[in-house]
């Protein structure tokens, strides 16, 4: 129950009025965020672009795992503080799930125990200042389908990564969201859904999200 314990210190005094979209690399988080932006949400994109460490990390994970995670943790804390001040924010990943990558890298030996303990202390200090989101949307996907989308996207530094890394990442995501309990959650399997290019698929996914939000509002 590591992930549940890592989030236990979150501020439980209500929810922030935000929608968080999460899932493994290549699942379509940014695309869905932009679709929700068209519906009136204010987007907060994951700090992948203008990230001086990310590409280096994929070529030398042992050297760059710790600085990359500290970079992401810092940016995600900044982002969520900004998003908390906005009505109807939508986030492409967030601080809540940042610990998934750090735990995976520590387990594989690519982040030392000392580095991980320092990371975890920072994470727990930051999460105390965060409230849960209004809704967490977890996009589930198989490893095979995620890898197809990664290849199609064409980022060279992602294409060099071995399959085992994506398998471990997917397994950790499933474990995290099996333990996730800090807010309402909507899980959507997107193996056979193309909400980027297929209008019916897009309306289906939007409908699931909007129905869940209405359900939550009716329960208040």
Residues with active-site annotation: 92
Contact (CB, 8 A) for 96 and 7 = yes
Any bridge partners for residue 157, and if so which? none
Tokens representing 4 are 């549940």
CB-CB neighbours of 3 under 10 Å: 20
Could you tell me which residues are annotated as the binding site for substrate? 46, 58, 69, 93, 98, 158
Angle at 142 between CA 194 and CA 71, to 5 degrees: 90
CA distance from start to end of the chain: 29
Binding-site residues for ATP: 23-31, 149-153
Give CA–CA dist 84/101, Å, rounded: 23
- List the binding residues: 23-31, 46, 58, 69, 93, 98, 149-153, 158
């Amino acid at each position: 129950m590591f992930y549940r314990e890592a989030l236990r210190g979150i501020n439980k005094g209500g929810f922030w009025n935000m929608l968080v979209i999460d899932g493994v690399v290549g699942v379509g988080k940014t695309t869905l965020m932009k679709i929700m932006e068209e519906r009136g949400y204010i987007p907060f994109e994951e700090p992948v672009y203008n990230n001086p460490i990310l590409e280096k990390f994929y070529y030398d994970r042992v050297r760059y795992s710790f600085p990359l995670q500290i970079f992401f943790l810092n940016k995600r804390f900044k982002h969520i503080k900004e998003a908390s001040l906005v009505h109807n924010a939508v986030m492409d990943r967030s601080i809540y799930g940042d610990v998934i990558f750090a735990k995976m890298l520590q387990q594989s030996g690519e982040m030392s125990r000392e580095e991980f303990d320092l990371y975890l202390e920072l994470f727990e200090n930051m999460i105390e200042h965060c409230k849960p989101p209004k809704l967490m949307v977890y996009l589930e996907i198989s490893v095979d389908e995620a890898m197809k989308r990664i290849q199609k996207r064409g980022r060279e530094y992602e294409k060099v990564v071995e399959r085992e890394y994506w398998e471990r990442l997917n397994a950790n995501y499933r474990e995290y969201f099996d333990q996730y309990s800090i807010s309402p959650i909507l899980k959507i399997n997107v193996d056979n859904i193309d909400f980027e290019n297929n209008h019916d698929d897009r309306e289906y996914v939007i409908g699931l999200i909007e129905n869940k939000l209405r359900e939550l509002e009716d329960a208040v």
